Structure 1
Amino acid sequence: MTALRSLLFTILFYGGTVVYVLLSFPIALFGQRPLRRHVGNWARFHRRCAAWILGIRSRTEGDPPTGAVVVAAKHQSMFETLEIVLLLDEPAIVMKRQLADIPLFGWVTLRYGCIPVDRSGGGAALRRMMRAAGDAIAQGRPIVIFPEGTRVRPGERPPLQPGFAGLYRALKLPVVPLALDSGRLWPRGFAKRPGIVTMRFGETVPPGLPRGEAESAVHRAINALDPAA
């Protein structure tokens, strides 16, 4: 049954996603607001497919932040990348620069207001990232970053990437950690298991702390639901 559910989800969700992506190009021509509503609809489509087909739902612990803050999230599966869009108010998501370079798709992500980061781009890349982040802050949008830098399996707790410290120091915004345990149900590979994903917003880390103190607080909080914690 698990394999059948996973196959049905793959067919319906990714088939529907092709339609959403194709529609995003003309919608993006009308501005950011219509595009962000469209992305929200795609995220709701994902939520319904995950719940009705896979039997995967989420519960939220703590209060989702509002306004211009940095949300530092654990990353264990694709599930949270779309669920976060629904938990927050039109978040600006920090993503790899390579995704922004994909023809058409990259233009749409930038139009939405994602923030590309090039880890090897030096000062010019940092300035581009800061301009994009400044636009999001001016609009009162939360900024989402996956500070460990990549998707990890349950039990893995890699150190935070240096980019987090640079963003924290430069933006001077409070950071709200987000712990989650989606990897239990949505592991790498094809099969996905039914259950409840917990999304836990932790205590706010204020701006201006020493780097080590801020990184330690965020790392500890985003791994609060990890089996190794």
Structure 2
Amino acid sequence: MHGYANPARFLRLARLLTAPLLVGGLVIAGLSLAWGLFGAPAEALQGDSVRILFIHVPAAWLGMGGWSAIAVASLTELVWRHPLAGIAARAVALPGAVFAALCLVTGSLWGRPAWGTWWVWDGRLTSMLVLLFLYLAYIALADAATRDGQGQSRIPAIFGLVGAVNIPIIHFSVLWWNSLHQPPSIAMGKSEMAAPFLLGLLAATVGFSLIFGGVVLARMRAILADQQAEARLRRRAMEAVDA
């Protein structure tokens, strides 16, 4: 793990992977969404409104997966003091928040024809909304630490770990409480989805995951570039004072 702690080594790998991840993700996601719109059949009960699942479900998974990545990076930062862990967590936060928001918006659009309402305060929807607020709070904490010159502050990392408590709540909410939201259609080793929906959904998830990975790498590169530029400016300022 510490083999990539060197920023120069990490940047070489990130430059190689960023464009292929983004391009591959856009192609796969685009094809899967085209299939969802024009190829997949209408569902027997929900009709054409079910097609939104090709965006909604990957967005939900990546919203939760993003915070799981923040929690892992935060643990790595706190325990092993990996120099890139905090940067990785900061890089994940914004795309994770975007996917969490996209999940809520598409879920609302899907809920209107399915439930007859845009929103209900049930366990799944409420805990997903809490996740979005957690993302926004983490972004604010990380930005504040950076502005104060405390880029390695432990507070965002601790918050990232504590916020992970919400992930199992989101996952099990439809099982723990009475909910309008349907139970999981995909479980370990089995699926209740018909093949045209399942295969398209898996492809969409792969595509959006590749985009997510490419965006995270691009953001990590940008954060490192900002830190290196700031370090150079500080060195020049100190040299000017000494002169």
Q: Which has the higher contact order (CA 8 A, sep 6+)?
A: 2
Greater Rg over alpha carbons, structure: 2
TM over 0.5: no
TM-score by length of 2: 0.30
TM-score by length of 1: 0.31
Return the structure number with greater strand share. Answer: 1
